[in-house]
Amino acid sequence: MADQLISTAVHDELPENYVRPEMQRPRLHEVVSDAQIPVVDLADPDLTAVIARIGEACSTHGFFQVLNHGVPVELMDAMLAVAYDFFRLPPEEKAKLYSDDPAKKMRLSTSFNVRKETVHNWRDYLRLHCHPLEQYVPEWPANPPSFREIVSAYCREVRELGFRLYAAISASLGLEEEYVKKALGEQEQHMAVNFYPKCPAPDLTFGLPAHTDPNALTILLMDQQVAGLQVLKEGRWIAVNPRPNALVINIGDQLQALSNGRYKSVWHRAVVNADRPRMSVASFLCPCNDVLIGPAAKLVTEGSPAVYRDYTYAEYYSKFWSRNLDQEHCLELFRT
């Protein structure tokens, strides 16, 4: 099955099973290339202003970039470099790690869910569980030799940043700073190291089609040289252009539910490039599987009734993986 990996060969033509039907293609000429998603400088001494900017970004865009976030730039660079080194490993080395089983805690795979798809996506990815590190690191790839050390260090920093953002998001909703962190329980942390090889026909396929993230918060490290992330805003696709040393934050489905729909888990997608490969590293903070999730009680009033019923994350995640990625917003299945 590992011969399905697209990073093990150079492709002069797009294979037929990657070609989207005409109505589902990216229409790259229609993308807004010069729009800006919100940018928040976390070093701003005016904490009230920072919280207000984060709250506004969560309600209007569901995405924002953070500067001066505390994750060392050298570590971000090292993370991207070791990710590229991993995908340059010989095919036989990568074949040992290949799996198309979504339940596996560590797997190298391709597309999104090859067991269910009829059309594939131009992406290979390494999926890792990252918390607690001491439990999962021994299962991670042993090559490149620095992989485990660099990725572990990056995971620790990103987790701390995620919790700082939770506090600001809670405060922006008028909740106690610890609310979101406590409401989501002892959180898991996953990572997807996404590799999008050069593509011979970027206008016919996706790296990932439009989707929302099923988790609570996603922290994305983007390739500084090649853009590919696009966000849906008011019916138009907006290109997210990477800012130097920034990380991209997006609200996942669980924060939309906790906020009773005030904050948006928005549709986003990855497009591919004919001239250069692209790498991105997505870190996902995920609720504890058995914690009960629903709108915060303080946000439910007579004038603003609960939009979603209570459910466990295990129930939600199971529903998410049983569907195609670009079907209706999974949260719609949990409306009251």
pLDDT, one tens digit per residue, over 309-323 is: 999 999 998 888 777
pLDDT (0 to 100) of residue 117: 76
β 39-41/63-67 pair status: parallel
Taking the CB of residue 33, how many other CB atoms lie within 10 A of it? 11
Question: Which DSSP letter does residue 308 get?
Answer: B
Question: Which DSSP letter does residue 95 get?
Answer: H
Question: Which DSSP letter does residue 103 get?
Answer: T
User: For 144-192, how does the pLDDT look when each residue is reduced to its tens digit (9 = 90+)?
Assistant: 999 999 999 999 999 999 999 999 999 999 999 999 999 999 999 999 9
CA distance 281 to 279: 7
Q: Which ranges of the chain have pLDDT less than 70?
A: 1-2, 115, 324-326
CA distance 121 to 209: 8
Tokens 């339940």 belong to: 103
**Entry pTM:** 0.96
CA end-to-end span of the chain, whole Å? 42
CA distance 289 to 138: 23
CA distance 253 to 316: 10
Domains of the chain: 14-332 (2.60.120.330)
Residue 185 sits at the vertex; the CA angle it makes with 52 and 127, to the nearest 5 degrees, is 90
Which three-class secondary structure state does DSSP give residue 335?
A: strand
CA distance 2 to 93: 10
pLDDT (0 to 100) of residue 2: 60
Tokens of 269: 């997608």
Tokens 């037929």 belong to: 16
Is the backbone of residue 175 left (phi > 0), alpha (psi -120 to 50) or beta? beta
CA distance 313 to 291: 7
User: For 129-145, how does the pLDDT look when each residue is reduced to its tens digit (9 = 90+)?
Assistant: 999 999 999 999 999 99
User: For 189-206, how does the pLDDT look when each residue is reduced to its tens digit (9 = 90+)?
Assistant: 999 999 999 999 999 999
209 with 200: CB under 8 angstroms? no
